[in-house]
Each structure stands twice: as structure tokens, then as C-alpha cells.
């Protein structure tokens, strides 16, 4: 099995957010994986995500990462800009993982005499708070990608139809928020032309 490539790290997520430093990697790493493989993939598509992973992978002989090469500076810039989105999206994924555990007895909540567990509504409020932060960083990232789409041939080579909508809307919501449907707007250009 090939080594898993994550575009952000547990260290970065813990150092830039307010999650506890002693939070187990058992919870953090799956959340990073979900933020990257589901949410970030929805923004950049399969091809660009695969390219970033390939560039982040260190050469086994030299231990040099191709993403640090000068000719890949635009990919490095994209990766740097994506870090806060990945961090906040990771926290959204973490909220339920650390609040509820699945054990032989079913789904349980662990309580401690010194800690007060929060209600499901309070967990949802925290998730909404962090999702809003992730959406704000997502919107900035999307705008930057659209302004620099000519630097990323992967945006044209595959998945363009699938990710186009994700490059124009950063709102996380389960319903259609409006806008023209089934219409091609004049000057709608952008990526994947």
C-alpha cells in the first residue's frame, strides 16, 4: 500500500487553532483526511489534488520535495493558501468524533467529574462556527484559484464540470441557495474554459 499523503499536518492544525495540544492523533488524522479528500477535493478536483500530493511526496533518495522547486512555486502558493481552510475544516470533522465514541455498548459520551459535556445543540453551534471560518478561507482560496487558473492545467484536464460550481460558491449548505440554474451566463468564463 502506498504511503498516504496529507497536505496539512496535525501540528499545523493544533498550532493555528484552539484545539487542545493533547487531542489524540487517532481523532485528528482521520479528520484531516476527510477535510482533504472530501472538502478540498471538491474545490480543486481530482487532478489538481493528485498533482499536489505528488509534489508534496518527498523523493526517497534525496528527501527533497518537488513542491519546493522554483518551477512549482504556484502549486506551493496554492498549498500555503489552503492550509487554514484545511485546518478549520478538520475541526468541523473533529467535533463529533471527539464528542461521541462508538464502542461495544453503542454510541457513547464520555464524561469526567472535572469536565462538563456539552449538548448536541452546542456541538452543532461549534461546528457551524468552524464551518463559517472554513467557508471564509474557502472563498478566498476559490477567488485566488480563479484569478490564477491559467497556472493550473489540471483545472482544464479533468473534473472541470464537477468543480466549476465549487469555485464560485463557498457557502456550506444542504439546499440550493439560488442563482440561475441551467443557464449559461455571458462572461461567466473563469476556470475550465
CB neighbour list of residue 152: distance below 8 Å, 6 or more residues apart: 48, 74, 75, 78, 145, 191
Count of the separate structural domains present in the chain? 1
Indicate the pLDDT class of residue 134, thresholds 50, 70 and 90: very high
Whether 85 contacts 138, CB under 8 Å: yes
pLDDT at 157: 55
In-domain check, residue 91: yes
Tens-digit pLDDT profile for residues 75-89: 999 999 999 999 999
Residue 186, domain member (yes or no): no
Query: What is the residue range of 70's domain?
Result: 10-167
| Residue 94 parent element (H or E) | helix 73-99
Residue 90 belongs to some domain of the structure: yes
Look up the pTM and report it: 0.80
Q: What is the pLDDT at residue 120?
A: 84
In terms of Cβ atoms closer than 10 Å to its own Cβ (0-12, 13-18, 19+), residue 15 is: exposed
* Domain contains 38: yes
* Confidence band for 35, pLDDT divided at 50, 70 and 90: very high
* Domain membership flag for residue 185: no
CA distance 32 to 34: 5
CB atoms within 10 A of CB 76: 18
With respect to residue 188, please indicate whether it lies within any of the assigned structural domains. Answer: no
The reply to whether 134 falls in a domain is yes
Quick check: helix, strand or coil at residue 115? strand
What is the DSSP code (8-state) at residue 106? E
Q: Using an 8 Å Cβ cutoff, are 96 and 31 in contact?
A: no
Give tens-digit pLDDT for 140-187: 998 898 889 889 988 875 555 556 555 555 566 655 555 555 555 555
Virtual CA dihedral for 86, 33, 42, 174, nearest 10 degrees?
Answer: -90
Please answer whether residues 47 and 154 qualify as being in contact, where contact means their C-beta atoms are separated by less than 8 angstroms. yes
- pLDDT tens per residue, range 169-181: 556 665 555 555 5
Task: Look at residue 175 and tell me if it is in a domain.
Answer: no
Amino acid at each position: 500500500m502506498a504511503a498516504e499523503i496529507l497536505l496539512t499536518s496535525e501540528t499545523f492544525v493544533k498550532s493555528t487553532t484552539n484545539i487542545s495540544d493533547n487531542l489524540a492523533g487517532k481523532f485528528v488524522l482521520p479528520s484531516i483526511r476527510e477535510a482533504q479528500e472530501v472538502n478540498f477535493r471538491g474545490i480543486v478536483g481530482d487532478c489538481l489534488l493528485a498533482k499536489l500530493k505528488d509534489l508534496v511526496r518527498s523523493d526517497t533518495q534525496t528527501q527533497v520535495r518537488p513542491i519546493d522547486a522554483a518551477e512549482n512555486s504556484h502549486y506551493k502558493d496554492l498549498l500555503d493558501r489552503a492550509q487554514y481552510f484545511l485546518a478549520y475544516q478538520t475541526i468541523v470533522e473533529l467535533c463529533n468524533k471527539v464528542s461521541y465514541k462508538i464502542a461495544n455498548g453503542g454510541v457513547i459520551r464520555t464524561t469526567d467529574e472535572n469536565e462538563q459535556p456539552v449538548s448536541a445543540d452546542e456541538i452543532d453551534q461549534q461546528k457551524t462556527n468552524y464551518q463559517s471560518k472554513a467557508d471564509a478561507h474557502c472563498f478566498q482560496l476559490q477567488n485566488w484559484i480563479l484569478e490564477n487558473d491559467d497556472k493550473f492545467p489540471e483545472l482544464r484536464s479533468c473534473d472541470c464540470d464537477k468543480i466549476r460550481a465549487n469555485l464560485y460558491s463557498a457557502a456550506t449548505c444542504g439546499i440550493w441557495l439560488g442563482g440561475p440554474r441551467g443557464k449559461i451566463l455571458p462572461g461567466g468564463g473563469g476556470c475550465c474554459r
